[in-house]
Amino acid sequence: MAGLNKVMVIGNLGADPEMRYTADGTALTSFRVASSRNYSGRDGERHEETEWFSVVTWQKLAEQCSQFLQKGRKVYVEGRLQTRSWDTPDGQKKYRTEVIAERVLFLDRTGGMPMPEDGEALPVGGGDVAPEDIPFE
């Protein structure tokens, strides 16, 4: 039986996106999205809980996100979870779980910035890049 690995997040960028290129010239843009939820505790008090997601986009989608996104923008991100691991120079094993975005929708129009047609970045393939091609830890 096939599995399902799908994640959908709506939230705001915590910082401007960072774009770079792999050794073979493939565009890669990463950014973090904060998604908050409100709830009432057992004490009746209202609480807010924020979860942060690391997002990675590739190729044309990476270029669009780098061009049109900035800190504070509200986005819808759809993709899959992927966990990478690497060894630090001192021999420790590190792990990072990221959303490999297949689709990013820009949900607001801030700062009068131009946006792609229909207010969204087009879903583009390219999430199947080998972990060793990712130029950051």
Number of structural domains the chain divides into: 1
Alpha carbons 93 and 91: distance in angstroms, whole number: 7
pLDDT on residue 125: 47
Cβ atoms of residues 123 and 107 within 8 Å: no
pLDDT on residue 54: 98
For residue 85, give its domain range.
7-36+47-125
2 falls within a domain? no
Q: How far is CA 41 from CA 7, 36, 38, 45, 52, in A?
A: 26, 15, 10, 5, 21
Alpha carbons 43 and 57: distance in angstroms, whole number: 41
80 falls within a domain? yes
3-state SS track over 35-50: EEEEEECCCCCEEEEE
Q: What is the full per-residue pLDDT of the chain (137 aa) written as tens digits?
A: 899 999 999 999 999 999 999 999 999 999 999 999 999 989 999 999 999 999 999 999 999 999 999 999 999 999 999 999 999 999 999 999 999 999 999 998 755 444 455 444 444 444 455 555 555 54
pLDDT on residue 1: 83
CATH code assigned at 106? 2.40.50.140
53 falls within a domain? yes
